[in-house]
Amino acid sequence: MNDTYINPLSTRYASYAMQHIFSDDFKFITWRKLWIALATAQKELGLAITQEQIQQMQAKVSDIDYAACKRYELQFRHDVMAHIHAYGDQCPLAKPIIHLGATSCYVGDNTDIIVQKEALLLIKKWLVNAIAALHDLAEKHTSLPCLAYTHFQAAQPTTLGKRICLWIQDLLFDVEQLDFTLAGIKLLGCKGTTGTAASFLSLFDDNHEKVKQLEEKITKSLGFDASYPISGQTYSRKIDYFILSVLSGIAQSAYKFSNDIRLLSHLKEVDEPFEKSQIGSSAMAYKRNPMRSERIASLARHVTVSALNPALTASAQWLERTLDDSANRRIAIAEAFLATDAILQLVINVSRGLTVNPHVIKRNLHAELPFMATENVLMRTVKKGGNRQHLHERIRTLSIAAAARLKEGESVDLLADIADDKSFGVTKEELYDMLETENFTGRATEQAETFLQDVKKFLKQNEKLQGAKAEITV
């Protein structure tokens, strides 16, 4: 057992793939790729850098001596300088030209952008798989009537498929925001200590064109179309806010989904996956708690709150650079991505394994159907010439009285009460004819069917991202 704190996002929740993106290896190998890109571009533009120096750097790009890095960092109290020296020790020919003209943010900020772009692509894969799982579930139950709820009070019926479409639509909104944000992400580039590129201009003897070409070459070699045209020493911290806002939106959608599952589990209309040997409670052996949905809700709160960190960081930056962003960003950005990764795997797992209990759904619907029928009664009797306001008041009075008797344990027949009221002018038989469930779900089935056709198109466009395995560790 470890005797120091370990982040549960790594040990319990997040995928290996997301953890790797935020790992030291991914980060520091990317630093070295950036140094190679810088040296290569500088050589191509005429600086005295040899191919042998670049080859030596390339040979050691993934061979990081972490012990040496640690020793140097204790000496210098500067992580970038520590890695420059450790890399230089491994590449003695290249040591004089590593990081030439650059500032720490050249490797730090560009790597942060690369990491977040890679992480967003993984998040999109999870989103597509969550939508695919919910699409399959909605398609099975497009026409299954169920009681709808407003304020968690029984309301006009819908279909289960239509309800699931509400969850899908939220996730599709999230994909739109993710794609928009992803399309706008650029590299910092190589702009020096205050964003003016003065050091590079000096290296190239005041040749502005070569400095522009240097940044273009580096940007292209790292797989980006462009770098931000204006920056201080860092890229604008608003970019982090935009990215974490996407994650916050996903967390909000997942939170709503999980709350709905928890409510429906209480009603016994659905059950989330529950393994053969799973224990719901250490005390109450009969319990089958919706713990996966509860975990989604718990992690979603963390992600939603995490979006506040980059907002405050962006607003607190001083002039061209201040360092009060660094420690916060190391924690907030990684944790938001790891938690969102865990959330979406849970959404996929719950959606793929959700059990629907149609008999319970039918029983709950029919228990409330006479009350639901009152809206149809109102519409029909008004069409026959009744006074809408007067009849609404009569229905309200009769419904409240019937509900009160029901709570006292009496048997209640609200439709018989309405039939006995001469204001309505309808028979009990006419009222019972209205109780066919298809009379109450409106266009729910048609809406869901039309919507799911659009979802199919989306899934077809993202076919290559589907089929991902969602791992639930604990």
Q: Where are the domains of the chain?
A: 8-103, 360-439
At residue 278, does pLDDT exceed 60? Answer: no
Mean pLDDT value across residues 10-35: 96
Residue 329 burial (CB count, 10 A): 18
From CA 170, how far away is CA 163, in angstroms rounded? 12
pLDDT in tens, 202-225: 999 999 999 999 999 999 999 999
CATH number of 8-103: 1.10.275.10
For residue 282, what pLDDT is reported? 45
CB-based burial label for 433 (10 Å; 0-12, 13-18, 19+): exposed
pLDDT in tens, 40-52: 999 999 999 999 9
The candidate with the shortest Cα–Cα distance to 292, out of 276, 274, 306, 279, is 274
149 - beta bridge partners?
154
Using 50, 70 and 90 to split pLDDT, how confident is the model at 275? low
State pTM to two decimals: 0.91
In the residue annotation, 10 being an active-site residue is answered as: no
> Tokens at residue 447, please?
């809406």
Q: Position of tokens 């020096």?
A: 192
- Cα 17 to Cα 298, 307, 325, 468: the distances in Å are 22, 22, 26, 12
Mean of the per-residue pLDDT values of the chain: 92
Which pairs with CB-CB distance under 8 Å and at least 24 residues apart come from 453-457?
A: 455/131, 455/135, 455/168, 455/172, 456/135
Mean pLDDT value across residues 104-127: 98
Fold identical between 8-103 and 360-439? Answer: no
For residue 329, what pLDDT is reported? 93
Using 50, 70 and 90 to split pLDDT, how confident is the model at 121? very high
36-40, 103-107, 152-156, 342-346: least confident range: 152-156
Catalytic residue chosen out of the listed positions 202, 281, 315, 326 = 281
Q: Which residues contact 327 (CB under 8 A, 6 or more apart)?
A: none
Q: Between 66-76 and 79-90, two packed helices, what is the crossing angle to 10 degrees?
A: 130
> Which DSSP helix (H) or strand (E) runs through 234?
none
From CA 413, how far away is CA 371, in angstroms rounded? 10
Q: Which residues contact 355 (CB under 8 A, 6 or more apart)?
A: 270, 271, 272, 273
pLDDT in tens, 283-339: 444 446 789 999 999 999 999 999 999 999 999 999 999 999 999 999 999 999 999
In the residue annotation, 135 being an active-site residue is answered as: no
The candidate with the shortest Cα–Cα distance to 178, out of 124, 102, 259, is 124
| Topology of domain 360-439, CATH | Ribonucleotide Reductase Protein R1; domain 1 (1.10.40)
153-167, 323-337, 411-425: least confident range: 411-425
Using 50, 70 and 90 to split pLDDT, how confident is the model at 407? confident
